[in-house]
Amino acid sequence: MLVKWIRCTVVDRRGFERGQRKWAGLLGEPGFRGQGGGWSRGRPNVAHIFAFWESRAFYDSFMARSHDRLAAAQSGTYRDMQVRLFEHRFDVKVGFQPRFTDADVVRVAHCRVHPDRVEHFTLVQEKVWNPAMAGSPGMVRGVFGEAPGGEFLVLSMWNSAAEHGKYRVERVERLALRAQTEADVAAIAGDVVGVESSWTV
């Protein structure tokens, strides 16, 4: 599965939201699995969108055919768009489905990992972080993806911002020490995204 992460700064909020609803046109596209997103909780006017495709081939075919027609509705409503693609490596909690209907917030973490630490980073994600997240009340599902050059995406969906906040306070610092995160990671950036139900396809 291919995971697409889009982040942009919105300059015309109403126009952007109107255009976002046009992405319902993705339904029926071969290989399309789901899309959702919302507004950053910490940065005003920053929007995040997450799209899921069965494979890179299906995604490339869509980009060549239908993408520009659907995207036209949002032209001029945003700036600084950044798009990244990741290959699904494994689920955070079993049986990941690209659904957003039962999530209140999505936590996105984007990690750049030192080349000689990629194997260790992947292993601790599987053995330390995933079980801790999966066992946290309020954590619905998640996905761990990889891009070339030691770039990783950890996406976790939570049924409430409060539950995610509790996990951060109670677990993250202790887990980071156990996982030797500082030794693995060259840079990490993240955000907490409030899910907008009208953006879900």
Give me the number of domains the chain comprises: 1
User: String of b and e for 146-185 (b: at least 16 CB within 10 Å)?
Assistant: bbeebbbbbbbbbeeeebbeebeeeeeeebeeebebeebb
pLDDT of residue 96: 93
pLDDT of residue 177: 87
Here the tokens at position 112 are 């750049």
CATH classification at residue 68: 3.30.70.100
Task: For residue 45, give its domain range.
Answer: 2-199
* Counts of helices then strands in the chain (DSSP H, E): 8, 8
- DSSP β-bridge partners for residue 195: 38
pLDDT of residue 170: 84
Per-run averaged pLDDT (10 residues), the chain, 201 residues = 98 97 95 98 96 98 96 96 97 91 96 97 94 92 97 96 88 86 94 97 97
pLDDT of residue 93: 87
Contact 156, 193 (CB under 8 A): no
